[in-house]
Structure 1
């Protein structure tokens, strides 16, 4: 990015911090399209992409008085990255559930839906607590459905490192949640028969 563009960004950030909606609008116009294209591509859903970009800019406006941004494109890129991960973790991805478990058809579909919602909430908390690189690998593999080779190439690390990080994450997941699924299913069955 040119120094002139950086200077414009810094001036608009200063004005926005002082409450200028016009400056905020100019920043939005400068960056929304690139962020929208990135989000839509990574999420595979343009309406979700639009929602995520809206959230990034809404957060920027809300925190305008306390933020110290030196490189706006980098800041927006990182903010978008985390919003995308949260969106992927927050939505139920059937591919991921198929990989983790295949319980067959449930006679108690409503109970099953509630259990999956509870499980998703627990899983989301767990994923958020992973070290950043491990979380990135985990999300790309299970939610973006990339191969270990693709992830290694994107992150500029070895395929073996990707496989090791996935293995550690899955072992931890099994250790902490493996016992939980049967208990939740049993509790749901018992409460259903009461």
Structure 2
């Protein structure tokens, strides 16, 4: 198999998406570019050793793990990045593998109606906690609790896709 051709195609297909993803998670352009570069270098160096079922899943997971590794070395609180990653997943459902998308929609349907409404208002309509609380006549704390509970429920329901949340 001609790995250089495959690598070039993979690189051309994914470098822009991965850099945008990395930048969204890190908010640091230099770090984002370095992370993506490190992932592609690792992929190239290990090209004959690894077998990848889904290139996209592998690359996004590798970028996420590389960011965590970078921040872990700096003793950074990774919960901030996990929140950003959850937001990215929700914002980019259309680019995620269809099995995962189907599972997320199924899990959304299992949420209590009010919790689902609050989560969708926050993540899909980009409304902040104050706006949601005002619109639904709820306390800010209730809105925060509902968003947190919804994300925990989704996280729990997506255990079979744990490679995304490592």
| TM-score relative to the length of structure 1 | 0.42
| Greater C-alpha Rg | 1
| TM-score relative to the length of structure 2 | 0.49
